[in-house]
């Protein structure tokens, strides 16, 4: 059986929380897990599920990418940075 050890709990992004405070939403904290007996690590993203007035699922990945786009919106199948997310939420 596979055994995982949680290395780090990922906290929600404070700037994004400030922008969605007027929405009805839930948050599922992300985790970085290590698969025991191997050197593999898995990242579960922080999930922001906005329910009202629009329905969006925003995933925040803790990665160091060159493009600096840590957010993914499931409904649009596209990656965004924080500035772009703010513009989408204003619409």
Which tens digit of pLDDT belongs to each residue from 48-68?
Answer: 999 988 899 999 988 765 668
Reduced DSSP (H G I as helix, E B as strand, rest coil) percent helix, strand, coil of the chain, to 5: 15, 45, 40
Which tens digit of pLDDT belongs to each residue from 5-26?
Answer: 999 999 999 999 999 988 999 9
Q: Where are the alpha helices (DSSP H) in 7-60?
A: 14-19
């Amino acid at each position: 059986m596979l055994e995982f050890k949680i290395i780090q709990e990922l906290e929600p992004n404070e700037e994004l929380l400030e922008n969605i405070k007027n929405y009805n939403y839930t948050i599922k904290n992300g985790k970085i897990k290590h698969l025991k007996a191997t050197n593999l690590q898995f990242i579960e993203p922080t999930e922001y599920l906005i329910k009202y007035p629009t329905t969006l699922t925003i995933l925040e990945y803790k990665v160091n990418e060159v493009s600096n786009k840590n957010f993914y919106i499931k409904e649009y199948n596209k990656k965004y940075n924080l500035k772009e997310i703010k513009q989408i939420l204003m619409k």
